[in-house]
Amino acid sequence: MKLNITKRRRWLIGGGLLLLTATPSFALFGIGDIVFDPTSYASLVSQLTTIESQYNMLKNNIEHFSVKQQWQTTLNALKNVNVANMFGETGGMTIAFNSNSASASSTAWKTATTPMSSNVTSYLQGQQLGSAQMSQLAMVEMSDSISPDCITAVGSYRAARTQDTAANSSLTANQLDGTSTTNSEVQQLNLLNAAEVQKLSEMQNQGAMQACLASQMAVGNMERRNAAATDLNTAAFVQQQRSTNDVSAANESNTWQTYLP
C-alpha cells in the first residue's frame, strides 16, 4: 500500500513539474494548440503601423504637387539704356552702360567730362595741401576714379541679367512643374539648392552696385563739405580784412565790419 502511495506522489510531482516548464506556445490540454499572446500581438500591430506611416511618407514625397502656378511670378527684365549722343559728347556711353567693359566706361567718362588744361596743372603746383584748390582737385580725381567703375558695375549687372535669363527661366519652370518628372524629394532639394545659388549670385551683383552708390555718396559729401568749408573760410577772411583795413564811412567807426557782401 505504501508503495502505491509513493508511486502516485512521484507521478503527481512529475506532472506538476511538466506543467510548470511548459512554454506559452502550447495549450494546457493537448499538444500543438497555439496560445494567443497579447504582448506579441501588440508588438506586431505597432510594427505594422510604423511601416504604414513610412510608406505614406514615401508616397507623399514621390507624388507630385500639381497646383504650383499660384506661386508663379515674372522676372523683371532690364531694358538696355540708350544715351543720346548728338555731337559725340557721350560716345561709348551706351555700350558702357550695357556691357561689362572697364575700358569702354573709362573712355566714355573722359569723353563726357571737362578735362583740366595744362595751365591748371602749372597753377596747382604752387598750391599747398589743404587749400580749396587742392581739395577741388582731390574731388575731381576721386570722381574720375569712381564714376567709370560704377558705370562698369551697371553694365556688368545688365549683361549678367541677360545671360542668366535662360537659367532663371529654366529653374522657374522646374519649380512650378506639376508632373512627376521633377517632383521627387531629391529633385526638389536640388531645385532649392539651385535657387539659393542664384539668389547668392544676384546679391553679389547688387552688392557691387551698392558699393558704387556708397562711393558716389562719398564724393557728393566731399563736394558739399568743401563748399561749406570754403564759405566759412571766405567769411573769416573778409572779417579779418575789414578789421585790418577800416573802410567805414566818415564818423561811423567800424559800422561796416560786420557786413559781408
DSSP code of residue 112: H
pLDDT at residue 33, as a whole number: 56
Strand runs (DSSP E) across the chain, as ranges?
A: none
pLDDT at residue 123, as a whole number: 83
Check: pTM over 0.85? Answer yes or no: no
Q: Amino acid identity, residue 65?
A: F
Give the three-state DSSP class for 63.
Answer: coil
What's the helix, strand, coil split of the chain in %, to 5? 70, 0, 30
**Torsion-angle region of 33 (φ positive above 0: left; ψ -120 to 50: alpha; else: beta):** beta
Mark the ranges of the chain whose per-residue pLDDT is less than 50.
1-3, 17-20, 22-23, 25-27
pLDDT at residue 19, as a whole number: 47
